Amino acid sequence: MANLKKIFSKIYDQYIEKIYRFIFLKVNSEEIAQDLTSETFLRGWESFKEKEDKIDNPSAFLYQIARNLVIDHYREKGKAQFVSAEFTQILDPRPNMEENAILRSDIEQIREVLTEIKEDYQNVIIWHYLDDLSICEVAKLLDRSEEATRVLLHRALESLRKKVNNV
């Protein structure tokens, strides 16, 4: 059991920020994101110790739990899903004020259009560009081939570009 705790502790340290960011972008509330992130890791730990370290892809496993919790959250609340208005708070501040203002403006525009595209498109963009996951890792999360994931990412970016051009 002690060995399982050490292994899961490393998984926790590796993924806590990414899972929190993913949830935060979906729920628009630090408090709810913290609660859902805690629940994600609690459920992850319960499954992890039951399966005794037989989880092949901890990243996909945790993101799937997080996705399901976000879906359950919106089902319970009867709300439409959207990307957080506080998106800019999760980025590192830039020392140059002009760069910072431009970056915040760009991020606000992207945040606005992200809310207008399909959830699969949102997820693939967040995972690949914000969480810096490879196409292979994103494909595993989506349970798709790498080719299908590349096509989805291409479509997501095209959809995002069209929305940005219309803003």
CATH number for the domain that contains residue 44: 1.10.1740
Same domain, 72 and 3: yes
Same domain, 142 and 97: yes
Determine the Cα–Cα distance for residues 167 and 165; give it in Å rounded to an integer. Answer: 6
The last residue of a domain, from among 81, 107, 124: 81
Domain that holds residue 37: 1-81
Banded model confidence at residue 36, pLDDT cuts 50, 70, 90: very high
Answer yes or no: is pLDDT of 87 > 80: no
Model confidence over 105-136: pLDDT tens digits? 666 666 677 778 888 888 888 888 877 888 99
Same domain, 113 and 149: yes
**Residue keyed to tokens 């996951």:** 133
pLDDT value at residue 113: 73
Same domain, 113 and 147: yes
> Would residue 28 be called left, alpha or beta, if left means φ above 0 and alpha means ψ between -120 and 50 degrees?
left
Taking CA atoms, 101 is separated from 63, 86, 94, 105, in Å, by 32, 15, 9, 6
**Residue keyed to tokens 């990307």:** 83
Give the total number of structural domains in the chain.
2
Same domain, 72 and 94: no
DSSP state letter for 131: S
Give the global pTM: 0.67
Banded model confidence at residue 69, pLDDT cuts 50, 70, 90: very high
